Amino acid sequence: MSHPEKPAPKAVYVKSYGCQMNVYDSQRMADVMGAEGYREVATPEEADLILLNTCHIRERAAEKVYSELGRMRIIKEEARVAGRKVMVGVAGCVAQAEGEEIVRRAKVVDLVVGPQSYHRLPDLVARAGVRPGVVDTEFPVEDKFKALPAASEARTRSRGLTAFVTVQEGCDKFCTFCVVPYTRGAEVSRPVSEVLAEVEKLAAAGVREVTLLGQNVNAYHGAGEDGSEWTLARLLRRLAEVPGVARLRYTTSHPREMTDDLVEAHGDLAALMPYLHLPVQSGSSAVLKRMNRKHTRDDYFRLVDRIRRARPDIALSSDFIVGFPGETDADFEDTLDLVRQVGFAAAYSFAYSARPGTPGADMDGHIEEPLKTQRLHALQALITAQQHAFQESLVGRTVDVLFEKIGRKPGQVVGRSPYLSPVQVIGPSSMIGSIVPVRITGAKTNSLDGVLAADDHMRAVHAAE
Ligand code: SAH
Ligand code: SF4
Ligand code: F3S
């Protein structure tokens, strides 16, 4: 007797652009479709459902989506010829910002889903299967996090030793260059109990390092179990008590929300890594004012002092925008000067990109592209030099490394320093999952070489014999 053939399980491919929030959301989209029987695949060619989780932060990021959709059109067509139906969805911040426009501009798109609607994905996919061109960019009243299924233990386990957890979403700051308040909506914090449950589950599955995410993560004000509002510092202190969690990080923070209790936590919470991304955007108070950052250059210097007093070995990174409307040579010099005075371990810098609908786009004094590029190169040269200097400063020091995987060379194991840089040593693979002291012996641009401090000790013992 012949059995009717079981339909092959469907496959979903999710590609992330932009920030870590999107990376986290992409995993949740894969989870929500996983609950519908979709397995996650690594290439669009294998998929029945292709989701592009997009970024709208700069013009180039947003435009990239359309060239990518061109590629998806070919994949979809090839599948159709082979008798297979493939669906293409656009998610993320371009979806939120452009909505219907995407379906009009790119016929290949079957559905458009904004960041607040991912829990409705199965329903949207079903509807788009009947009639392509479904758009959902509403900001629903229900909490998307509550509505999303929890990741299964097996999926969590396969994700390794480090994990992101979104604790806050959206932004009320309205910096005049930025689309995020429009694409992600108002600031919302997840309740403490939800965050705690997720972190406990990750820790039980072997995760040792958790990075708390939010567009404005230090503005966190989630409801605690005791009914009071918790700050990020209080949340971090609680999460540090979760068995297995050895390292905590958070990103991205706003300088204005670095409260005393958070600065204090950097001083006395061992699990909180001494590395902080603290975007300043410009070193000119005049530009900062037009950017609506609500902090001055001196406020930033004072803040850096406070943080370094609490945690002298902290390394800082930042974001910069050059060529904001009205930026003079003197303003730009102020930015270079701020970088020289602070000294960053790393930094990202961008040429200002006018975003439709933001106040910056309508300001006077737009800077021509060649000048922006020139300033960007000057700033990047300075930042690169500081980055090298920081890496070099670690040579000879012993740092704790969380080992994550086997390296490319035989016998090599790779982990991360407290400052996020990859560290390579020769050692047993049994170290994977552990935090082990390593003496740094050499610095490259993006990684460090080291020897196990224990091996050093053994050598010293042998030498003394
Ligand atoms: N929430 C974060 C920023 C998210 S966007 C924060 O408050 O810092 C990441 C970075 O992109 C920003 O820090 C900024 O440097 C850059 N950026 C944002 N809008 C931009 C624009 N219109 N043009 C160029 N760079 C921009
Ligand atoms: Fe954008 Fe400013 Fe909000 Fe950061 S704080 S997300 S730069 S509006
Ligand atoms: Fe981009 Fe949206 Fe993140 S615009 S940076 S994906 S919040």
Residue nearest to atom 1 of ligand 2 (CA): 178
Provide the phi-psi class of 185: left if phi over 0, else alpha when psi is between -120 and 50, else beta. Answer: left
Please answer whether residues 97 and 182 qualify as being in contact, where contact means their C-beta atoms are separated by less than 8 angstroms. yes
447, 383, 390: which is closest to 413 by C-alpha?
A: 447
240, 239, 243, 233: which is closest to 266 by C-alpha?
A: 233
CA distance 152 to 161: 16
Give the residue ranges of the annotated binding site for [4Fe-4S] cluster.
19, 55, 93, 171, 175, 178
- For ligand 1, the distance from its centroid to the CA atom of residue 413, given in whole angstroms, is 35
pLDDT score, position 226: 86
- List phi, psi (to 5°) of 135: -125, 125
Question: How many alpha carbons fall within 13 Å on the CB side of residue 308?
Answer: 11
Six-digit token string for 378: 């000057």
The closest ligand to the CA of 355 turns out to be 1
- For ligand 3, the distance from its centroid to the CA atom of residue 190, given in whole angstroms, is 19
**pLDDT tens readout for residues 371-380:** 999 999 999 9
Give the CATH H-level superfamily of domain 11-136. Answer: Methylthiotransferase, N-terminal domain (3.40.50.12160)
Tens of pLDDT along the chain (465 residues)? 445 566 678 999 999 999 999 999 999 999 999 999 999 999 999 999 999 999 999 999 999 999 999 999 999 999 999 999 999 999 999 999 999 999 999 999 999 999 999 999 999 999 999 999 999 998 876 666 666 666 555 455 556 899 999 999 999 999 999 999 999 999 999 999 999 999 999 999 999 999 999 999 999 999 998 889 999 999 999 999 999 999 999 999 999 999 999 999 999 999 999 999 999 999 999 999 999 999 999 999 999 999 999 999 999 999 999 999 999 999 999 999 999 999 999 999 999 999 999 999 999 999 999 999 999 999 999 999 999 999 999 999 999 999 999 999 999 999 999 999 999 999 999 999 999 999 999 999 889 999 998 877 666 666 666
Give me the architecture of the 398-464 domain, per CATH.
Answer: Beta Barrel (2.40)
To test the pocket of ligand 2, the residue of 55, 56, 93, 175 to mutate (highest count of ligand atoms within 8 Å of its CB) is 175
Residue found under tokens 């406020």: 299
| Residue 246, number of CB atoms within 10 A of its CB | 21
CA distance 96 to 326: 29
Q: What is the β-pairing status of strands 315-322 and 275-277?
A: parallel
Output the CA–CA distances (angstroms, integers) from residue 257 to 107, 139, 210, in the order listed: 43, 25, 21
pLDDT score, position 462: 66
Residues for the chain: how many in total? 465
List residues near ligand 1 (CB under 6 A). 57-58, 177-178, 180, 215-216, 252, 254, 279, 281, 319, 321, 350, 352-353, 355
The closest ligand to the CA of 56 turns out to be 3
203, 25, 216, 9: which is closest to 114 by C-alpha?
A: 25
Domain ranges of the chain: 11-136, 149-393, 398-464
> If one looks up domain 149-393 in CATH, what number appears?
3.80.30.20
List residues near ligand 3 (CB under 6 A). 18-19, 21-22, 55-57, 92-93, 179-180, 183-184, 215
103, 25, 10: which is closest to 65 by C-alpha?
A: 103
pLDDT score, position 1: 45
Q: What secondary structure letter does DSSP report for 410?
A: T
pTM for the full predicted model: 0.93
